[in-house]
Amino acid sequence: MSNLSSESYTDAPVALGTADSSMATPTIQATGVEKWYDNNFHVLRGVDLTVNKGEVVVIMGPSGSGKSTFIRTFNALEPYQKGSIVIDGIELSHDLKNIEAIRREVGMVFQQFNLFPHLSVLQNVTLAPIWVRRWPKAQAEEVALQLLERVGILEQANKFPGQLSGGQQQRVAIAAPWRCSPRSCCLMNRPRPWIRRWCARCWM
């Protein structure tokens, strides 16, 4: 993956978004990001990306071009070797404090949903507010139930992920990153059409 804005690099992903340079505060500022996997595979080659507050940006590219790898670097799920990533003014360095601060602000909807199968829907959605934000259980549950209602699965709150359809699991996965608002940004790996429509409504 290289140079997101380059049109000459036909195999590389491109970023499409609601670019508006008048919005001055970048939420994500990636500059010259380079990453090699352990086997010396050079997967990210000097990637630059700026996402301003309120922008919705889509990263598109062929399978295997590095889209997932790139967005995983934003919350330190993948280390990178060169360049810099700054999220909401916090430099993503090896400093654990910075990493924890960024992870508190960056929500992520994984491609495979990543729900805990032994926890109910409600427990999945309240896990982070209770353990990361230290919210009281009652407050976390109140917010979680509101979110589940917004994504249309309130009546599934006490079921386990294995008892839900794929579409319902997606809805839990999208409720989860919003569970500890406010958030700087939300990364979505392959959002489905209904998620895109729902988010567009939320962000308008």
Ligand X SMILES: Nc1ncnc2c1ncn2[C@@H]1O[C@H](COP(=O)(O)OP(=O)(O)O)[C@@H](O)[C@H]1O
Amino acid at 82: K
114 near Mg ion, rule: CB under 5 A: no
**DSSP-based three-state secondary structure for 156:** helix
Choices 58-66, 82-90, 163-171, 176-184 (CB under 6 A): range interacting with ligand X:
58-66
Query: Cα–Cα distance between 85 and 8 in angstroms, integer?
Result: 24
Among 31, 36, 56, 68, binds Mg ion (CB under 5 A): 68
Query: Cα–Cα distance between 119 and 86 in angstroms, integer?
Result: 34
Among 8, 21, 41, 138, binds ligand X (CB under 6 A): 41
Nearest residue (CB) to ligand X, 33 versus 157: 33
Q: What one-character DSSP code corresponds to residue 176? A: G
H or E element in which residue 44 lies: strand 42-52
61 near ligand X, rule: CB under 6 A: yes
Query: Cα–Cα distance between 173 and 108 in angstroms, integer?
Result: 9
79 near ligand X, rule: CB under 6 A: no
Residue among 27, 81, 89 nearest 56 (CA): 27
Choices 60-68, 93-101, 129-137, 155-163 (CB under 6 A): range interacting with ligand X:
60-68
Instruction: Identify what 39 binds: ligand X, Mg ion, none; CB under 5 to 8 Å per kind.
Output: ligand X
Instruction: Identify what 98 binds: Mg ion, ligand X, none; CB under 5 to 8 Å per kind.
Output: none
Residues in the chain: 204
69 near ligand X, rule: CB under 6 A: yes
Query: Cα–Cα distance between 39 and 14 in angstroms, integer?
Result: 25
Binding site for ligand X (CB under 6 A): 37, 39, 41, 43, 61, 63-69
Binding site for Mg ion (CB under 5 A): 68
